[in-house]
Structure 1
């Protein structure tokens, strides 16, 4: 296992200053960069552990607090184990912040995240990978569309509302994507029903994007998040295999790590 170093960083944006977590192999060498987008529950210890795992495989990973307009993380007071059915008030706090992340704001913010990685001495020059979870899958897709010259790989896991009828639906940016894409859908996910899965698949195919979209049987929305009631260990490990394979194909730099 690679020795890693994690640190908190502040990132200036057009709308303020965002706190973020940056982690990288502690070997004084630059490594391929990965932008990891949080789920709705925000930047917290579990997401830092996910970033650490990527860093152990030879990547420099940035996890920004995309809710920074509402304060530094943790923006919402979370229990150690998150069961939304037991805490309906959580989404009452989170939903307005999610709705404020308009496509325009996401694109502006993504420029700041990518600029930090471009200037980071621990990040190798060249294209980056982007991965996102739940709402983060939407942010990842929009980032790949907004920065086709910077993003070589884009992945989304248990993403919701990726291909709606709305004129600004995330799937409408795929004609600008040059990255290889992978989406791991949860089949027990009301926010990403089969018709949306099919619409996303068709859009990617029509745009000529190299991609794979797969449904994880029995998995719920949030299956990668081990600090939530939706966690599915088997599906989560499948996600790691697919994500690491995607990053190795597109960025290189992967190492064997336990």
Structure 2
């Protein structure tokens, strides 16, 4: 098992300072870089464990606190295990932060995250990979479309509203994407209904994007998150298989 180092860093953005977790294999590198976008529950020990697992495969992984404008992580106090009874109270705190985020601000932040990775002496040169979960899947797609020269691959898992009818829906950036994309939806997920799955597929296909979209049968929104009741071990392992294969194909070893 590859030894991994993890630490907290600060990333200066146009709007302040975003705290972030960084993980990488033991050693000086350089390592291919990955930007890891959190789900709505935020930067927390479970996401750090996921970053560590990815780092153990040979990557430098940056997990920013997307909610940094509201405070350093943990922005919301979370239980060790998030069950359905806890969700309403948590989302009362989370939703105002979500609504305060704008595509412009998020992509300004993305520029800072990508810049931090580009400047890190631990990072190998060249475009990065991105993985995102829940809200992070939309950020992965949006970042790939906003900074196509900086992104070689992007993946999103149990994404929410990736192809809505909103004027700023992430799928509208499909024509700008040059990265290889992979999306894994859950078939028990009201946040990404069939019509949006079809709309995303059509947008990527029409734009000529190299991509694959799959639906994991029986999985629920949040299936990768082992600290929640939505966790599905089989679907989570399938996600790891596909994510690592994507990065092996597209990122410099």
Deviation at 1:103, TM superposition (A): 0.7
Confirm whether residue 61 of structure 1 aligns to residue 53 of structure 2: no
What pairs up with 1:1-258 in 2 under 5 angstroms?
1-253=1-253
What's the CA shift string for 1:180-205, capped at 9, x where partnerless? 00000000000100000000000000
Deviation at 1:84, TM superposition (A): 3.7
Deviation at 1:101, TM superposition (A): 1.7
Contact preservation (8 Å) 1:106, 1:142? no
Q: Which SS does the other structure have where 1:190 is aligned?
A: coil
RMSD over aligned Cα atoms: 0.8
| 2: CA distance, partners of 1:183 / 1:192 | 11
| 2: CA distance, partners of 1:109 / 1:35 | 12
Q: Which SS does the other structure have where 1:82 is aligned?
A: coil
What's the CA shift string for 1:160-193, capped at 9, x where partnerless? 1000111111100111000000000000000100
Deviation at 1:26, TM superposition (A): 1.1
Gaps of 5+ in 2: none
Partner of 1:256: none
| 1: CA distance, partners of 2:29 / 2:137 | 29
What TM-score does the superposition give when structure 1 sets the normalisation length?
0.97
Deviation at 1:79, TM superposition (A): 0.2
The alignment of Structure 1 onto Structure 2 pairs a total of residues equal to 253
Deviation at 1:252, TM superposition (A): 3.8
| 2: CA distance, partners of 1:173 / 1:10 | 29
| 1: CA distance, partners of 2:164 / 2:173 | 12
What TM-score does the superposition give when structure 2 sets the normalisation length?
0.99
| 2: CA distance, partners of 1:243 / 1:197 | 19
Instruction: Report the CA distance shift for 1:89/1:4 in structure 2 as closer, same or farther (over 3 A).
Output: same
| 2: CA distance, partners of 1:159 / 1:101 | 17
